[in-house]
Amino acid sequence: MGQFKANQLVDRLETAAKARQAALARFRDRPAADDPAVLARQSARRAIVQAREDRAEARERARRAAEAQREAEALAEQERQIAELARQAAEKVERQAALAAEQKAARDARFAARKARARR
């Protein structure tokens, strides 16, 4: 068993008092709020924060612009597809009309040939 120290409490109290004194000394040694070095650090921090906010705002603007560009491209693609479908439908109608005209001409020719045979 170790030897009992009678002044152990006193040592701890003295150490705590020295620590408080050191903390108080550090607090007193701090520069004042109107010190040029403190003001320079604060302005530098404000500049950093402002630059960060500016970059975030620029990223947001770029994101919105890219989103608008994608929407415009999608709309243009949709319009192109609609125009293509309309063109295909018009071509189909045109082909059907031409086919109907050909069929009518062939039918009329057959009818005329039948009439010509009957007149002979």
Q: What is the pLDDT of residue 2?
A: 55
Whether 110 contacts 117, CB under 8 Å: no
- Name the maximum alpha-carbon separation found in the chain: 152
Give this prediction's pTM. 0.49
Q: What is the pLDDT of residue 4?
A: 61
Q: What is the pLDDT of residue 53?
A: 98
Angle value at C-alpha 72, between 68 and 74, nearest 5 degrees: 115
- Per-residue pLDDT, averaged over 9-38, amounts to 87
Q: What is the pLDDT of residue 104?
A: 96
Is the model's pLDDT at 1 over the cut of 60? no
Q: What is the pLDDT of residue 6?
A: 63
- The residue among 105, 56, 8 whose CA lies nearest residue 64 is 56
Distance of CA 14 to the CA centre of its chain: 61
